[in-house]
């Protein structure tokens, strides 16, 4: 019997069984339900804007970690590699997004983001947690795991 892994679709939330051998061959699996590409280990954070926030974050079937940041912010740049690692590690379980507060002031204002970096956790379109400032990866992941359904990797 082949060695399989399960991957949750970031688009529709369906759990898909994928053969590890096919992943090792470089094949890109697609969701059995919605036919969208499944996230792999190279998943990167999704860039969201005022215009795309509702569709990409609020209507996501998965919990979403939103990194509110700015290019000029030193702590934001320090946290960026951690956010990218979490996006790869939790692909299919948590959608990770980045929101530049300088170019998207409406969303930043709506969520009352007063200092950066601020990490928002949204589930079902509602804010369920907020982390302000630079935190270690294990602390952020521990907070996220409360909102992840099913087995974690």
Q: Is the pLDDT of residue 42 over 60?
A: no
Under 8 Å CB-to-CB from 31, ≥6 apart: which residues? 9, 11, 12, 14, 16, 37, 38
pLDDT of residue 153: 46
Q: Is 9 an annotated catalytic residue?
A: no
> In angstroms, rounded to a whole number, what is the distance separating the alpha carbons of residues 99 and 78?
16
Question: Which among 12, 31, 34, 76 is annotated as catalytic?
Answer: 76
Q: Is 34 a catalytic residue?
A: no
Average pLDDT over residues 50-78: 94
Neighbours of 109 (CB within 10 A): 12
pLDDT at res. 1: 42
Instruction: Write down the catalytic residue from 9, 31, 34, 73.
Output: 73
Strands 15-19 and 64-69: unpaired
Whole-model pTM: value is 0.76
pLDDT in tens, 85-139: 998 888 778 899 999 999 999 999 999 999 999 999 999 999 999 999 999 999 9
For residue 51, what are its two tokens? 């215009």
| Residue 118 CA: distances (Å) to CA of 79, 83, 101, 139, 146 | 10, 12, 10, 14, 18
Domains and CATH numbers, the chain: 1-38 (2.30.30), 46-145 (3.40.30.10)
CA distance 77 to 117: 9
Strand partners, 8: 15
Higher per-residue confidence, 87 vs 44: 87
pLDDT of residue 73: 96
């Amino acid at each position: 019997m082949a060695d399989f892994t399960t991957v949750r679709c970031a688009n529709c939330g369906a759990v898909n069984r994928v053969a590890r051998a096919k992943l090792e061959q470089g094949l890109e699996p697609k969701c059995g339900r919605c036919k969208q590409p499944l996230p792999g280990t190279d998943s990167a954070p999704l860039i969201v804007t005022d215009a795309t926030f509702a569709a990409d974050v609020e209507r996501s079937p998965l919990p979403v970690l939103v990194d509110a940041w700015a290019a000029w912010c030193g702590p934001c740049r320090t946290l960026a590699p951690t956010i990218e690692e979490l996006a790869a590690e939790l692909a299919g379980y948590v959608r990770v997004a980045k929101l530049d507060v300088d170019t998207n002031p409406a969303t930043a204002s709506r969520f009352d983001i007063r200092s950066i970096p601020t990490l928002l956790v949204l589930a079902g379109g509602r804010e369920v947690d907020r982390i302000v400032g630079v935190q270690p990866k294990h602390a952020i992941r521990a907070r996220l795991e409360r909102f992840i359904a099913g087995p974690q990797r």
